[in-house]
Amino acid sequence: MLKPQSTATRELVNLDGLWNFAVDSGDVEERWKAPLANPLEIAVPASYNDLFTDSAIRDHVGWVWYQRTVRVPRGWAGERVFVRVDAATHEGKVFVNDTLVAEHVGGYTPFEADVTDLVEAGAEFWLTIAVNNELTNTTIPPGTITVTEDGRRQQKYMHDFYNYAGLARSVWLYSAPAVRVDDITVTTDVDGETGIVGYEIVTTDGSAAAEVRVRILDAAGTQVAEASGASGSVRIDDVTLWQPGAAYLYDLVVEVLSDGTVVDSYSLPIGVRTVEVRGAEFLINGIPFYFTGFGKHEDSPVRGKGHDNAYLVHDFQLMDWIGANSFRTSHYPYAEEVMEFADRHGIVVIDETAAVGLNLAMGGGIFGGIKQATFSPETMNDQTRDSHAQAIRELIARDKNHPSVVMWSIANEPSSGEPGAREYFEPLVQLTRELDPTRPVTFVNVMFANHEQDLIADLFDVMCLNRYYGWYADTGDLQSAEIHLEAELRGWEEKYGKPIIMTEYGADTMPGLHSIFDTPWTEEYQSAYLDMNHRVFDRIDAFIGEQVWNFADFQTSNGVFRVDGNKKGVFTRDRRPKAAAHKLRARWTNLEK
Ligand code: BDP
């Protein structure tokens, strides 16, 4: 799915700003048909939860309403007009005046509607977006809604981060010609000094009367290749590769011509690079790559998951400062601006779906809840898997052309040692490979499904493990933790012989708390914990990467287990370094792998 852009044939209006807002109380029917009564004002983009002082809004389970007027630019007569929502978490309905124009389930991927027939160039219309935050056993991520004794609906979920909701990314109005580029898929390869760019263009012109022309421009804007036809491949002599830490982007300019005139043009930044898993190595452009960096979150004070370009720039600056060359989009697809930034700055991304919390074993075990089978007709079932398949389709459709994305992660910490896991995952792995045969596929394995218990790891290319020896196990005893961690990693290495990445390891740390002993929560303990992990990683040959949990402290669901959120950040929630940040910087800026 193409991100809207302004080109010679397309125009773009950003609809961010202050909108009217109301929580659905169930007492007004067809709310979109009139201006919201007594609305609040709300910022878009932002999660709505932390903006207001009313806990009834923060804890609301169900629909909320966003509304504003939009004027269609007067020059758009004769063009197709679209409303595009970058994300509505977790379900969205879009209304133009009285008409429902789009519905979408899945909180972290975009959707759009062609509203041409309902609007007029130069005139205003009412745009209403209803957003629902409910998670059930058939949504991705899953959750359950319970009703308290006094009748309040409560949302429960099996993931750690707070269930922020609303319009956390931009909303757009854009114009495009009727005959236009609808989709582009690019794959790249390298032959000596020559780059090979394979492309497939889908146009809206069913009759295929229009011609397609493709040109590649280098970073200076000089044309280096051209071709015609909706699919094919072109060669770039003396290619400059996209490399980790040394990004280089070409522009793939796609033009649709009708009777020799350009009727649409779209320009896609592309990077030429290869990715391959060979033995226990992860090769980017044929060179073994060692991942350093973090599992991140889209999370900041007040905005919740609201995309913010200031945090975007600052977070990447901090990653650069600390020597991180990569991150995982734990635990959902991030804003497209983040992916484009990674492309431009040579940061490597493991791109994850929102399939987090497919795990009822953990809830039953640790938190004392009722033990339920994760995979069963009443819990994660065929419908859950259908939603999961859709989440994979939409992630790949959106992110397939980003050179920074080197691997798909289709789930975080599912209950992969439970009966039914293999039946659930096998078709999803197959689907991912069909949709994108060029990138390795992984899932992120939970501590309770080690190499002896896990039932699905062999389906994947890279073993991504989350391990908390010294935190959730062997708490405060780093000597035992070191022995147990090494024993397990050797077990994985011997059993599968595939590359291993530690995608999560971390210790909650209260900034300012100190001790001369191995005392959990102190800044010294976080550093000692990381050192212990690193000693072990450096002893394992199949080890190809380390991503600390987490880049920054982040907000979690209500409950007694966290004090104001998860404190495993190497940076605080407002991005100040804890002592461990300096430790990591010393390691990662000197790492020879
Ligand atoms: C892992 C999860 C992650 C949590 C982390 C933790 O993947 O989302 O935040 O543990 O407990 O299980 O800190």
pLDDT per residue as tens digits for the range 511-548: 999 999 999 999 999 999 999 999 999 999 999 999 99
The mean pLDDT of 140-169, rounded to a whole number, is 94
- Which atom number of ligand 1 is nearest to the Cα of residue 330? 8
Using one digit for the tens of pLDDT, what is the confidence trace for 381-392?
Answer: 999 999 999 999
Tell me how far apart the alpha carbons of residues 274 and 276 are, in angstroms, rounded to a whole number.
Answer: 7
Tell me how far apart the alpha carbons of residues 556 and 544 are, in angstroms, rounded to a whole number.
Answer: 30
Cα(371) to ligand 1 centroid in Å equals 20
**Residue 208: pLDDT over 80:** no
**159 lies in some domain:** yes
Same domain, 89 and 208: no
User: Which residues are CB-contacts of 29 (< 8 A; sequence separation ≥ 6)?
Assistant: none
Q: What strands, in cross-sheet order, belong to the sheet with 111-114?
A: 11-14, 171-176, 80-85, 111-114
Closest-CA residue, ligand 1 atom 11, reads: 160
* Parallel/antiparallel/unpaired status of strands 171-176 and 11-14: antiparallel
Q: Which residue of the set 413, 418, 493, 523 is catalytic? A: 413
**Residue 8: pLDDT over 60:** yes
**359 lies in some domain:** yes
Same domain, 256 and 305: no
**Residue 367: pLDDT over 60:** no
Same domain, 454 and 416: yes
pLDDT of residue 207: 58
- The angle formed by the CA atoms of residues 263, 268 and 270, to the nearest 5 degrees, is 150
Tell me how far apart the alpha carbons of residues 30 and 166 are, in angstroms, rounded to a whole number.
Answer: 19
- The answer to whether the beta carbons of residues 290 and 591 sit under 8 Å apart is yes
Question: Annotated catalytic, 423?
Answer: no
pLDDT of residue 370: 63
- Which atom number of ligand 1 is nearest to the Cα of residue 556? 9
* Percent residues over pLDDT 90 in the chain: 93
**282 lies in some domain:** no
Q: How confident is the model at residue 586 (pLDDT cuts 50, 70, 90)?
A: very high
pLDDT of residue 365: 45
Same domain, 206 and 336: no
**For the domain that residue 258 is a member of, what is the CATH number?**
2.60.40.10
Cα(312) to ligand 1 centroid in Å equals 22
**262 lies in some domain:** yes
Kindly report whether the global pTM for this prediction surpasses the value 0.85.
yes
Question: Annotated catalytic, 281?
Answer: no
**Residue 458: pLDDT over 90:** yes
**For the domain that residue 338 is a member of, what is the CATH number?**
3.20.20.80
Same domain, 265 and 393: no
User: Which residues are CB-contacts of 309 (< 8 A; sequence separation ≥ 6)?
Assistant: 337
The mean pLDDT of 313-330, rounded to a whole number, is 98
Same domain, 91 and 231: no
Cα(413) to ligand 1 centroid in Å equals 9
Look at residues 141, 160, 176 and tell me which one is the last residue of a structural domain. 176
Q: Which of the residue ranges 52-66, 159-173, 200-214 would you say has the lowest mean pLDDT?
A: 200-214
Q: Does the C-beta of 328 come closer than 6 Å to ligand 1? A: no
The mean pLDDT of 347-373, rounded to a whole number, is 81
**Residue 263: pLDDT over 80:** yes
Closest-CA residue, ligand 1 atom 8, reads: 160
Task: Rounding to the nearest 10 degrees, give the CA dihedral for residues 409, 412, 414, 420.
Answer: -20
The length of the chain, given as a count of residues: 593
Closest-CA residue, ligand 1 atom 5, reads: 160
**279 lies in some domain:** no
**256 lies in some domain:** yes
The mean pLDDT of 445-455, rounded to a whole number, is 96
DSSP string, 137-181: TTSSS-EEEEE-TTS-EEEEESSSB----EE-S-EEEEEE-SS-E
Same domain, 357 and 376: yes
What SS3 class is residue 530?
Answer: helix
Using one digit for the tens of pLDDT, what is the confidence trace for 130-140?
Answer: 999 999 999 99
pLDDT of residue 205: 79
Structure tokens at 25: 């109380």
Structural domains in the chain (count): 3
Same domain, 373 and 444: yes
Q: Does the C-beta of 299 come closer than 6 Å to ligand 1? A: no
**Range 513-519, long-range pairs (CB < 8 A, 24+ positions):** 518/476, 518/477, 518/478, 519/476
Tell me how far apart the alpha carbons of residues 403 and 377 are, in angstroms, rounded to a whole number.
Answer: 39
Look at residues 273, 303, 322 and tell me which one is the last residue of a structural domain. 273
Closest CA to 270 of 317, 212, 215: 215
Same domain, 519 and 533: yes
Tell me how far apart the alpha carbons of residues 283 and 287 are, in angstroms, rounded to a whole number.
Answer: 5
Tell me how far apart the alpha carbons of residues 464 and 593 are, in angstroms, rounded to a whole number.
Answer: 18
Tell me how far apart the alpha carbons of residues 169 and 324 are, in angstroms, rounded to a whole number.
Answer: 25
Same domain, 46 and 168: yes
What's the mean pLDDT when you consider all of the chain? 96
**1 lies in some domain:** no
Q: How confident is the model at residue 231 (pLDDT cuts 50, 70, 90)?
A: very high
Closest CA to 492 of 534, 529, 544: 544
**3 lies in some domain:** no
* Percent residues over pLDDT 70 in the chain: 98
Using one digit for the tens of pLDDT, what is the confidence trace for 395-435?
Answer: 999 999 999 999 999 999 999 999 999 999 999 999 999 99
Same domain, 362 and 384: yes
Q: Which residue of the set 255, 488, 504, 523 is catalytic? A: 504
**Residue 364: pLDDT over 50:** no
Identify which of 446, 504, 564 to mutate to test ligand 1's pocket (most ligand atoms within 8 A of the CB). Answer: 504
Cα(121) to ligand 1 centroid in Å equals 49
| Structural domain boundaries enclosing 268 | 181-273
Look at residues 126, 149, 176 and tell me which one is the last residue of a structural domain. 176
- Which atom number of ligand 1 is nearest to the Cα of residue 508? 13
**Residue 560: pLDDT over 70:** no
The mean pLDDT of 191-205, rounded to a whole number, is 95
Q: Does the C-beta of 412 come closer than 6 Å to ligand 1? A: yes
**For the domain that residue 132 is a member of, what is the CATH number?**
2.60.120.260
Identify which of 161, 298, 353, 466 to mutate to test ligand 1's pocket (most ligand atoms within 8 A of the CB). Answer: 466
Strand partners, 466: 504
**Residue 363: pLDDT over 70:** no
Same domain, 364 and 502: yes
Cα(160) to ligand 1 centroid in Å equals 6
What SS3 class is residue 385?
Answer: helix
